[in-house]
Copies of this chain bind each other. A is one copy, B any other.
Amino acid sequence: MIRFAIVGYGNLGRACEKIAANSGKFDLVGIFTRRDPAAMTSPFGTPFFRQDDIESFKGKIDVLALCTGSANDLTELGKRCAASFNTVDSFDTHARMRDYVNDMQRITTASGTLSLIGIGWDPGLFSLMRAVFGGVLAEGNTQTFWGKGVSQGHSEAIRKIEGVVKGVQYTVPKEAALEAARSGRGEGLTTRDKHLRECFVVAAEGADKAAIEKSIVTMPNYFDEYDTIVHFITEEEFDRDHTAMPHGGFVLRSGKAQGKDCSLEFALKLESNPDFTASVLMAYAAAAYKMYNEGKRGALTILDIPAIALTDEERTDFIAHTL
């Protein structure tokens, strides 16, 4: 059994807890929270502890999943926890990945721990596909599309507008751009060319809908550079149709091998983004345990981890039915 613990009890932390509780291979040591542990309850009876006390669990946890919300919190937490524990996280700010990997490499090397970083679907599986596709087809162009799915950041931006009661934003890949990328005409496509932003908004009674729509579509950084569609719906419709967190996307590479057309595509479709992210994170949590026991140390990304690390089976058995 893998002695396992979680920091943070939002959507991702809860989903990880559920997988750990239902799998036969994790022993749930506890959940660490910045809230009052006495006020927390878990459907699985997992004990809660103060996040500040986590170091007192050194030697009692094999793998720690870092599931706090914001990117800032996560890197600070990662650097603190890697000094005492093996960790897995789904840190997802592409632009800060280099610094985070370097910091974590330094800390894990000093502490003799293992940290798996940026483990989710993007970054994560999408990154793996970009690396493999680019590796095996040197001459070509890779394009990533996101959606159809909920962007938390854009949804929050909508909800801050005066007169908005509820709001959600879906990032939607444009079919024409997908087709262009599939047929080798993806080069030069911008994120704007590739995606549409579709918003569903519940306005307060008497609110100026035209003003809300204008605030959305002209919002700098978030919407002004995109084609944006705004739908006003009732609260009933919103609660019925727009509370799930679907997501997904595509990684496409089109190119040539000795002048002959090749196209590689990875497509992902998820009814629930946090539930699938948790599924990926927990698979790599088990891999972290296995790799640590094999002597691996340091800060690794999904690009550094062979697929065979994901199985509990004996290696040749797994190869025999998978290769």
Interface residues of A (CB under 8 A from B): 15, 18-19, 23, 94, 97-98, 101-102, 118, 123, 125, 127-128, 130-132, 134-138, 257-272, 275-276, 278-280, 283, 287, 301-308, 310-311, 316, 318-320, 322-323
**Given A131-B322, A303-B307: 6 more A-B contacts, CB < 8 Å:** A127-B323, A135-B311, A137-B279, A138-B279, A303-B319, A305-B306
Q: How far is the CB of A87 from chain B (nearest CB, A)?
A: 16
28 chain-A/chain-B pairs, Cβ below 8 angstroms: A15-B257, A15-B258, A19-B258, A23-B138, A97-B323, A98-B319, A101-B319, A102-B316, A128-B132, A131-B308, A131-B311, A132-B307, A134-B311, A137-B279, A257-B272, A258-B272, A258-B275, A258-B278, A258-B279, A262-B268, A263-B270, A264-B267, A265-B268, A266-B266, A267-B267, A301-B323, A302-B323, A303-B306
Find out whether the CB atom of B266 lies under 8 angstroms from the CB atom of A265. Answer: yes
Q: Which 3 A-B pairs have the closest CB atoms?
A: A135-B310, A260-B272, A131-B307
Find out whether the CB atom of B266 lies under 8 angstroms from the CB atom of A278. Answer: no
Q: How far is the CB of A164 from chain B (nearest CB, A)?
A: 27
A270 contacts which of B262, B318, B320 (Cβ < 8 Å)?
A: B262
Interface SS majority for chain A: helix
Number of this chain's copies in the complex = 2
In the docked arrangement, what's the CA distance between A322 and B126, Å?
Answer: 9
Q: A135-B310, A306-B304 are in contact. Are A18 and B258 (CB under 8 A)?
A: yes
Q: Return chain B residues, CB-CB under 8 Å to A266.
A: 264-266
In the docked arrangement, what's the CA distance between A104 and B312, Å?
Answer: 23
Q: Return chain B residues, CB-CB under 8 Å to A264.
A: 125, 266-268
In the docked arrangement, what's the CA distance between A265 and B280, Å?
Answer: 16
Q: How far is the CB of A143 from chain B (nearest CB, A)?
A: 14
In the docked arrangement, what's the CA distance between A127 and B263, Å?
Answer: 18
A319 contacts which of B15, B134, B301 (Cβ < 8 Å)?
A: B301
Find out whether the CB atom of B270 lies under 8 angstroms from the CB atom of A260. Answer: yes
Across the interface, name the chain B residue whose C-beta is closest to A302: B323
In the docked arrangement, what's the CA distance between A291 and B101, Å?
Answer: 22
In the docked arrangement, what's the CA distance between A287 and B320, Å?
Answer: 23
Find out whether the CB atom of B283 lies under 8 angstroms from the CB atom of A257. Answer: no
Q: Return chain B residues, CB-CB under 8 Å to A135.
A: 283, 287, 307, 310-311
Q: Return chain B residues, CB-CB under 8 Å to A130.
A: 322
Across the interface, name the chain B residue whose C-beta is closest to A123: B323
In the docked arrangement, what's the CA distance between A272 and B261, Å?
Answer: 7
Across the interface, name the chain B residue whose C-beta is closest to A272: B260
Find out whether the CB atom of A276 lies under 8 angstroms from the CB atom of B262. Answer: yes
Q: Return chain B residues, CB-CB under 8 Å to A271.
A: 260-262
Q: Return chain B residues, CB-CB under 8 Å to A269.
A: 261-263
Find out whether the CB atom of A97 lies under 8 angstroms from the CB atom of B320. Answer: yes
Q: Return chain B residues, CB-CB under 8 Å to A128.
A: 132, 307
Q: How far is the CB of A218 from chain B (nearest CB, A)?
A: 32
